């Protein structure tokens, strides 16, 4: 994958087919992607230019009509195209804990330890044998159910994520 030198130019190409149901949402999503890519370690206020843009970012991220998977589909589609152009692609999968301890996040559940709260993200990355990153090809996010009185946890067996990816 070749990254262009112009800031954010890759966003317009990678997310060309983004459709969040409203062109204003699509524009906001692309602008946020450009901001976050330009400053990947910054907080949301640090990546945005001013308070108004920061508040717009929080409104966008809190919009119940926008699902993270809808945001990712154009990227996943482009990744599949890049993969199809190569004779060999390695698919590397990993699960990450997203720890939100101390925050009241709807849908969060226990992590490795019952006292930890958050969600799991299982992503599969496509790379060439020469270690050139092609991008994320899929991802699943879920929260574990708490253990019942007998110490058992309900829900789908988490190892299924490895098979799905």
Q: What is the pLDDT along the chain (165 residues), one digit of tens a residue?
A: 444 445 568 899 999 999 999 999 999 999 999 999 999 999 999 999 999 999 999 999 999 999 999 999 999 999 999 999 999 999 999 999 999 887 888 889 999 888 899 999 999 999 999 999 999 999 998 999 888 889 888 888 878 877 877
The verdict on 150 and 110 lying in the same domain is yes
39: in domain: yes
The verdict on 124 and 157 lying in the same domain is yes
The verdict on 56 and 19 lying in the same domain is yes
20: in domain: yes
109: in domain: yes
Rounded-to-integer distance, Cα 153 and Cα 163, Å: 20
**Confidence at residue 73, expressed as pLDDT on a 0 to 100 scale:** 94
The verdict on 62 and 126 lying in the same domain is no
10: in domain: yes
Q: How many domains does the chain have?
A: 2
**Confidence at residue 3, expressed as pLDDT on a 0 to 100 scale:** 43
76: in domain: no
Domain around 16: 1-66
The verdict on 42 and 95 lying in the same domain is no
Of 15, 164, 139, 32, give the one whose Cα is nearest residue 77.
Answer: 15
The verdict on 53 and 118 lying in the same domain is no
149: in domain: yes
Rounded-to-integer distance, Cα 157 and Cα 153, Å: 9
**Confidence at residue 4, expressed as pLDDT on a 0 to 100 scale:** 44
The verdict on 61 and 99 lying in the same domain is no
CATH of the domain at 55: 1.10.246.40
The verdict on 161 and 101 lying in the same domain is yes
Q: How far is CA 81 from CA 1, 13, 77, 124, 135, in A?
A: 11, 13, 6, 15, 11
78: in domain: no
74: in domain: no
């Amino acid at each position: 994958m070749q990254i262009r030198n112009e800031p954010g130019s890759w966003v317009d190409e990678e997310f060309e087919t983004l459709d969040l149901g409203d062109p204003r949402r699509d524009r906001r999503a692309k602008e946020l992607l450009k901001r976050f890519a330009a400053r990947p370690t910054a907080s949301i206020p640090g990546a945005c230019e001013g308070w108004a843009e920061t508040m717009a970012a929080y409104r966008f991220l809190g919009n119940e009509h926008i699902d993270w998977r809808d945001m990712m589909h154009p990227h996943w589609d482009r990744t599949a195209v890049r993969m199809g152009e190569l004779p060999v692609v390695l698919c590397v999968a990993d699960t990450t804990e997203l720890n939100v301890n101390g925050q009241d996040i709807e849908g969060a559940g226990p992590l490795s330890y019952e006292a930890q709260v958050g969600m799991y993200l299982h992503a599969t990355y496509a790379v060439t044998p020469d270690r050139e990153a092609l991008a994320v090809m899929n991802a699943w996010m879920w929260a574990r159910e708490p253990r019942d009185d007998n110490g058992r946890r309900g829900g789908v067996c988490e190892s299924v994520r490895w098979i799905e990816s």
